[in-house]
Structure 1
């Protein structure tokens, strides 16, 4: 006969991955902020370049592992890591490594959140009525468009775009697709900054990440946002006409 007293324990166990991530995120924000910086990269510049020349595959593997860890645990330094990818590996390879690493890390935190708290919230949303139910149905109908918007809108923090979809029960395959494709524009911008990082260091300067907000960069990204939102607007207009 099954012991029903272990059911609450199993329920608590589901939350362990997200609890661990939250704890590491808090500890990391308090202890790693002074290390995952451009100054650290500047200080270790020659050693990293020498190691890259001797062991490119090993450095790429180490870079991916570090970047995945940063994203999965929401640690500080994701922007520095993206720029570092361009600095060490160039625009094409750097962008590929940045996108791959960020996608893997995002999927890890998504799955951890969905397995625990996300499962509980999703069940409650499914059982809800009224406005909450309508919002849930609207999200389900426009899931891919909404997920693309979360990735493309620069004002949405990356960790929010990782956690929020898990908490409302979106499909993992849609999350994976929109993450892998939606972060490409931003990844190209940050990686391109890294490509010229050596010259910036030679001048004794610090990289200017405000480039993302320049009109010639922000304009195309906002255009992609409008494109992602278009299906939602079309469905809304059709719905009003049917009424």
Structure 2
């Protein structure tokens, strides 16, 4: 009898944590930590595409991040705009589809316009979907999904799942958090019900495509029972 093929991840999500600590360790401004974090995003997205992932979801800006100092929020928005402007051509040509989860329309009009143009430009791509969580909170997402499901009929796990921001993505297989923190921080709570979890001490700016590859290889050794035996 031949040995079964290892289960491979289709959808990976990452809580990108540790930009500030990376900068602090080097006596640098937090803004530089965020800048290096964007460089890590660039490398990991390329790696995800090369490894054949169907979907990569990145936690970029949470509903709680508005509590940060105004200057830091402004720096994050500027970095996001520069990232879209500098990398959109490459992603579009590589077949990457951009998707946003969360309420990105709460951002300033210039950010909203840029995001919507990027979504429209990559909408027809059939390669890796890059889902970016912007102004995202999982509890808010579940509440919105339940409200929409209730308006259509009886509420069940299936009807709620169909209304989630990620409804058009494959089920979440693996959730990674960098920087040594061991919590979900209101990220993909519903989707993570049976996802595998991996926590690493690597700070996000130091996270590479090789770290992602190692995580995917480790995933193939996990035995997923979904509550059974």
Instruction: Give yes or no for TM over 0.5.
Output: no
TM-score by length of 1: 0.28
If asked which structure has higher relative contact order (CA below 8 Å, sep 6+), I would say 2
Find the structure with the greater CA-based Rg. 1
